[in-house]
Amino acid sequence: MRKTSIEGNRHRNVIPYINQDVSEILDEIERETNDRALMQSIYFGPTALTQIKRVIETGGSIIADTSLLANGVDETLIGNNGCKVLCFIDDAQVNMVAQQRRITRAEVAVDYGLQVPGPKLMLIGSAPAAINRIIIRRQHEPMSDVCVLAAPTGFASVIQMKERLMESDLCCIVARGKKGGVPATIAIINAILRQISKGNDQSVYPL
């Protein structure tokens, strides 16, 4: 039986959603990162994998909070249905709006990302401000087509922000506690995409 980390459960007693796909993804993450504590910290919302599959299969968008994270997504795993990997953080318009509004580029980039039509996976590996912006936006509008994968690393304030995401009604996957960072987020998303790709292959070529 898998154990959840004590640090990850500091704020509330989270019962993680585990099925065979999630279990195999977690095993893959541990193999790739050699970090058992990271694997144990990851929370999967019950609809997260279904939503990410929808993003892939319907030509949705994977929207990363940094170009480094976007470049780390293995695009060979997202198939040929038109799904695309996007990042708005370095967009000149985003920078200008952030300066005008005196907020972070990460927050403005979230707003740009949420304007993209179709289902979306918001990848957050560096910017807790992006998590906060998504939560605020959710308070004012429906987000049934949005899933959030959040794994920024940090201390108390970042940990609390990730807990707030989990406590919201947003579809999410979260690396709880202090665990996370861009390399961890890349490992998580690619393990998920690999598992989805494997499932699609098996459905096309049944044994």
The answer to whether the Cα torsion of 39, 68, 95, 86 is positive or negative is negative
pLDDT confidence band for 184 (50 / 70 / 90): very high
User: Each residue of 10-51: pLDDT tens digit?
Assistant: 433 455 678 899 999 999 999 999 999 999 999 999 999 999
Residue 97 has pLDDT above 70, yes or no: yes
The percent of residues above 70 in pLDDT, for the chain, comes to: 88
pTM of the model: 0.89
Report the alpha-carbon distance of residue 177 to residue 175 in Å, rounded: 7
pLDDT of residue 205: 34
**102: phi > 0 → left, psi -120 to 50 → alpha, else beta; which?**
left
Mean pLDDT, rounded, for 153-177: 95
What 3-state class would DSSP assign to 2?
coil
- Strand-pair partners of 175: 42
- Domains in the chain, CATH or no CATH each: 20-200 (3.40.50.10230)
Mean pLDDT, rounded, for 109-136: 97
pLDDT of residue 207: 34
